[in-house]
Amino acid sequence: MQINLSNKTALITGSSKGIGLSIASKMLAANAGVILNSRNDDELSKTANTLRENFPEGTVNTAPFDLSETKDIPNWFAQVSNNYGPIQILVNNAGITHRELAKDITQEDFNRVMRVNLNAVLVICQEFFLQLQNRPGKIINISSLISNLVRETNIAYAASKGALNQLTRSLAIEWATNGINVNAIAPGFIHTDLTESLVNDEKFNHWVKTRVPMSRWGKPNDISSTAVFLASSEADYITGQIIYVDGGTIATI
């Protein structure tokens, strides 16, 4: 199945590297234009230049912004859509974590994770909805296996991703008649730059391979392929779903 997203523009948050970059690459390969986002302007520019070299016929734009500044998201989003035109696909990939035991975590650290992983997503989705003006669109939220299965010291991240799943479902049922599909992808253990140290940790790597039925780490491409499918007309009757791309981890005890 060859997916074609011609005449579509995708805004992908947190897309300077890792899963977000893989999604941007896969969207470009499917002929969509992409708008990259990161809070690091220099890193974002380097990523954009690399993608332009790899996809010389594609359209790659950048929209640097720190999503923790939630009150400024409406102005930022308006500027992005004014500069680059209507956005038909929104991928909420940006996220942060904070590792600490539940008994020790402060409200400040907990709220910081929730602000980026949940509150910012809601505000961006609201702006996306308003911008569409009753035109169809696709929202893809990047959740996590940790939304359903948890490990210690992940209380803030787990809470934010669990809430993100319910936000996804809530938006899906409210906006279904507006032609907006809202789904989430929940990655399992994915080998990226951010997880390289864990892959190289012999004990943790062994634990992952024995815990995951497919006995391997996932690849960013496993996530981006799913994202492109959900962004396409092939997924027009799919909404309100949390799709676990985790090598079978969620299905086993």
Q: Coil, strand, or helix at residue 53?
A: helix
Q: Are strands 9-12 and 137-142 parallel, antiparallel or unpaired?
A: unpaired
Start-end of H helices in the chain: 18-29, 41-54, 73-84, 107-114, 120-132, 155-175, 196-199, 202-211, 220-231
∠ CA 223-116-159, rounded to 5°: 75
Q: Coil, strand, or helix at residue 76?
A: helix
Active-site position among 84, 157, 237, 244: 157
- Dihedral pair phi/psi, residue 33, rounded to 5°: -85, 150
Is 244 among the residues known to form the active site? no
Structure tokens at 215: 């006995």
Q: What is the 3-state secondary structure (H, E, C) of 108-144?
A: HHHHHHHHHHHHHHHHHHHHHHHHHCCCCEEEEEECC
| 158 CA to centre of own chain | 15
Positions annotated as catalytic residues are 157
